[in-house]
């Protein structure tokens, strides 16, 4: 897919930052105004506008990447990671109960 | 584990989560953990520092990175750094799946804080996992 270059955007990131066009897209999709996006991501409104221009010029490319990211997130953590978290939650509850009973470790 | 490093574009989200972990229902555990929360400025990291360098610093400093970074590029991502460098002793990276929802939905934010605290309380159990999504 050919990607149209846009000033201020380098390798899908806002130049000089770690923020990708997909970071910005998430806020745009949620209807956040430019000022709010800038505040949340701690960048300037001009940098947000650069990202918006890139997104508008490369909508198909950005959407494909966004979908890929969303699919990965939707898969969530592997079951074994969630199972280990459950064990951690049990351990934490036991620790709290013991502590509150005056028998903390 | 010494603490957390808030990704440079994620500081507001990390502040939100820390406030929730300091709330009364979670405070006892959070204070017991005695974790420090660092920002990029605390390590003289530049805002454009590559993912790989941030990940290495976190392991050296015994910090877990908390990020919300979204990147579809395979060759230039945190995922690539984890794939290449992670081993069974490494601290995981925590990724906030939906920072917008974290900000707007209090019930979701509380659920994320509960899960985050469970992982942190027992972090040794989660070494080597690579990346953990908070969602």
- Tell me how far apart the alpha carbons of residues B6 and B12 are, in angstroms, rounded to a whole number: 9
Interface contact A77, partner B, CB < 8 A: yes
Closest Cα in chain A to B12: A40
Q: Rounded CA gap, B94 and B130, in Å?
A: 9
Residue-wise pLDDT for A52-96, tens only, equals 999 999 999 999 999 999 998 999 999 999 999 999 999 999 999
Identify residues of B whose CB sits under 8 angstroms from chain A CBs. Answer: 7-9, 11-12, 28-29, 47-49, 51, 54, 68-73, 76, 97-100, 103-104, 115, 117-119, 121-122, 125-126, 129, 132-133, 135
State the average pLDDT for chain A.
93
For residues B103 and B13, is the Cβ–Cβ distance under 8 A? yes
Residue A32, token pair as written in the block: 């956040």
Q: Is A22 on the interface with B (CB under 8 A)?
A: yes
**The model's pTM:** 0.92
Please write the tens of the pLDDT for every residue from B30-56.
999 999 999 999 998 998 898 899 999
A-B C-beta contacts closer than 8 Å: 104
Residue B120: predicted pLDDT: 98
SS3 B66: strand
Residue to test with chain B: of A87, A88, A95, most B Cβ within 10 A? A88
Contacts of A79 in chain B (CB under 8 A): none
């Amino acid at each position: 897919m050919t990607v149209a270059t846009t000033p201020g955007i380098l390798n899908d990131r806002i130049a000089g930052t770690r923020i990708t066009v997909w970071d910005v897209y998430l806020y745009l999709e949620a209807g956040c105004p430019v000022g709010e996006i800038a505040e949340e991501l701690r960048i300037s409104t001009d940098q947000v506008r650069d990202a918006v221009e890139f997104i508008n010029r490369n909508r198909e490319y950005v959407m494909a990447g966004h979908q890929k990211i969303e699919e990965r997130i939707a898969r969530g953590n592997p079951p074994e990671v969630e199972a280990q978290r459950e064990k951690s939650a049990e351990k934490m509850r036991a620790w709290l109960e013991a502590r509150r009973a005056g028998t903390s470790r | 584990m010494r603490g957390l490093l808030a990704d440079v574009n994620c500081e507001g989200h990390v502040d939100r989560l820390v406030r929730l972990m300091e709330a009364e229902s979670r405070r006892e555990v959070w204070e017991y953990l005695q974790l420090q929360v660092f920002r990029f400025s605390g390590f003289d990291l530049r805002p454009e520092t590559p993912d790989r360098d941030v990940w290495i610093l976190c392991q050296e400093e015994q910090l877990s990175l908390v990020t919300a970074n979204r990147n579809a590029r395979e060759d230039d991502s945190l995922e690539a750094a984890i794939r290449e460098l992670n081993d069974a002793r490494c601290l995981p990276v925590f990724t906030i799946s939906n920072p917008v929802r974290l900000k707007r939905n209090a019930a979701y934010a509380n659920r994320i804080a509960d899960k985050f605290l469970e992982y942190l309380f027992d972090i040794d159990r989660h070494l080597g996992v690579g990346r953990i999504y908070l969602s």
